[in-house]
Amino acid sequence: MSAKRATLVTVAALFTFILVAAGIGSVGAGNNEFMSKDGYGVHSSMH
């Protein structure tokens, strides 16, 4: 039971991260072209 729950939480977290990353990339594309070209650049620039 706990293994199933952990899997669901992991999948949900990954899915949410993908949506957030896609949202940041689409919004950031208008301000900085570098963000749209490098997805990881968006994540590292957030820190």
Residue 25, C-beta contacts closer than 8 angstroms, at least 6 positions apart: 35, 36, 39, 42
How many H helices and E strands in the chain?
A: 3, 0
Distance in angstroms (rounded) separating the CA atoms of residues 29 and 19: 15
pLDDT tens for each residue of the chain, 47 residues long: 799 999 999 999 999 888 777 776 666 555 555 444 555 555 455 44
Which pair of tokens denotes residue 36? 């749209």
Domain that holds residue 7: 2-45
Domain total in the chain: 1
Which pair of tokens denotes residue 20? 């957030």
Whole-number pLDDT of residue 20: 79
What's this model's pTM, rounded to 2 decimal places? 0.45
